[in-house]
Structure 1
Amino acid sequence: MTRTEEQQRKVEEAQRIIGRDFDDPDILLSAITHPSATEGKPVKFSYERLEFLGDSILGAIVANEAFHEYPELDEGGLTRIKVALVSGTSLAEVAEKLGFADVIVFGSSERGTGRRGLHSALENVYEAVVAALFLDSGIAGAQAFVRRTLIPKMSVEMAREPENPKSALQEKLQEEGITPTYKLVETQGPPHDRTFVSQVFAGMKALASGMGRTKKEAESQAAKTALDALGFTKASKADKAKAKREKKQSRTEKKNKG
């Protein structure tokens, strides 16, 4: 595929950031190309399809790393670590520090709006790069990149409290042997300024829906709404913790009197 001067320069800079020369640079070019730069072209020329693949690969790599790093943690703790580490905020922060903001290929419409979706683009490009590495050099290439750039953020503290509503909802539903699933039900707006609507399900039952500027944000909002609807709010958790403390204090007082 013939590349423009800008595209060639950004592919070379992306390879420098990643620390690898791609056998197929066109895969990397797709991974760093915003949908606004491919209007009228097949979807394969932007990061959208690669983002889908990268999300799954990234989740597997992070799960594997957490599983081996923290053998003392149960499923709930490992889930909290994974959800926190692959959150949109986490990936966008890492991508920005790496310098990906300067290599994303935006279309003219996005440049004219001041890059409103930069945070979302950074998150998506990170996932797309993971997929591009997987396709170009196998799981080892993707794993090396994630280990170098994302895994250093991993810590056992992430396992102690749910970092977001998705983790909290998963913990609660798994107590009943249910794993929540999410489905994108609607996409609104032009490619450079999208709004996503997602639903969360418990089995075949739809629990709630949520809206956000990214797919992950929409899922997070859906999970939050579901938690509220099911009564798993922060307030109820606080009440339970207070009741537990009072019960413990009562037992201690009885023991001292005895």
Structure 2
Amino acid sequence: MPSTEELLKRLGVTIDPETLRLALTHRSYAYEHGGIPTNERLEFLGDSVLGYAVTDHLYKNYPDLPEGDLAKRRSAVVSTRALAGIARSLGVGEFILLGQGEILTNGKDKSSILADTMESLIGATFLNNGVEVARDMVMRLILPLLHDVDVLGAGTDWKTAIQEVAAAQKMGSIEYRVMGSGPDHARSYVAILHIGGNPYGQGTGPSKKEAEQEAAAETWKMVRPQDDSAKAN
């Protein structure tokens, strides 16, 4: 595992070693080490800081958007999928302290764990540096997503979005065909989304659910309504 100094460099902030270790301590690791504190309280704090920073930015920079559209954009960029994507781009997974069970099931790449850890890192940044530094970090990480039509198009629920588009365009029934491989302790899945009997997007993940969501997200890029790019700009 590389030094946590490398993680701080990627985040562009300073966090004291004790708080940083806490932010990276998953409950599975804490349970195996005598019930030490976990990052869940920092996650709770970071979720609030994240929501505030994104809401403030949207309110000030999109004065003509109605409440419903503002809420949709916020939910899209603070979703588990969006935060997990940011965490993967920063290589956060390799720094998370996990229990053996999560290690064996590739917990370092699970979207839920990655997203929760990003929130705890935001909370740790707030504790050590105050709201402005934390907000600046959030904006550096989130702003590119606010200009990503594929993120904004479907919000947080790709499978529902695909169902709506398939129904509206009369494309036919939806079916996810999922295949698993690898040993039980390190299972991985590949999902292919078929609509009307035709294959569309493919997704992979450590669980069937994540593989299906990834397949739905990839399919969205192929079938999304053509006016979405105009709405997102």
Mark yes or no: TM-score above 0.5.
yes
Match of 2:8 in 1: 15
Provide the residue aligned with 1:77 in structure 2.
69
> 1: distance between equivalents of 2:47 and 2:22?
16
Return closer, same or farther for 1:156/1:16 CA change in 2, 3 Å cut-off: closer
The code of the aligned residue for 2:70 comes to: L
Aligned to 2:101: 109
State the AA in 2 paired with 1:30: L
User: C-alpha separation between the residues in 2 aligned to 1:101 and 1:41?
Assistant: 23
| Contact in 1 for aligned 2:20/2:124 (Cα 8 Å) | yes
TM-score by length of 1: 0.55
What is the distance in 2 between the residues matched to 1:48 and 1:82? 22
Within a 5 Å distance, the mapping from 1:28-43 to structure 2 comes to 28-39=20-31, 41-42=34-35
The alignment partner of 2:98 has SS state of coil
- In the other structure, the counterpart of 2:48 is 56
The structure-2 alpha-carbon separation of the partners of 1:158 and 1:61, relative to structure 1 and needing over 3 Å to count, comes to farther
Instruction: Return the TM-score normalized by structure 2.
Output: 0.60
Q: Residue 137 of structure 2 corresponds to which residue in structure 1?
A: 145
Q: Secondary structure at the match of 1:150?
A: helix
Tell me, in whole angstroms, the C-alpha distance in 1 between the residues paired with 2:149 and 2:64.
13
CA distance in 2, matches of 1:32, 1:53: 14
User: How far apart, in 1, do the equivalents of 2:111 and 2:148 lie?
Assistant: 26
Quick one: distance in 2 between partners of 1:63 and 1:134? Answer: 17
**Secondary structure, counterpart of 2:107 in structure 1:** coil
Can you give the 5+ residue segments of structure 1 that lack an aligned partner in the other structure?
Answer: 1-5, 169-216, 218-258
Deviations 1:170-212 (A, max 9, x none): xxxxxxxxxxxxxxxxxxxxxxxxxxxxxxxxxxxxxxxxxxx
Pick 1 or 2: higher relative contact order, CA cutoff 8 A, min separation 6: 2
One-letter code of the match for 1:59? G
Q: Which residue of 2 aligns with 1:118?
A: 110
| Structure whose alpha-carbon radius of gyration is higher | 1
- 1:81, 1:156 within 8 Å by CA — same for their partners in 2? no
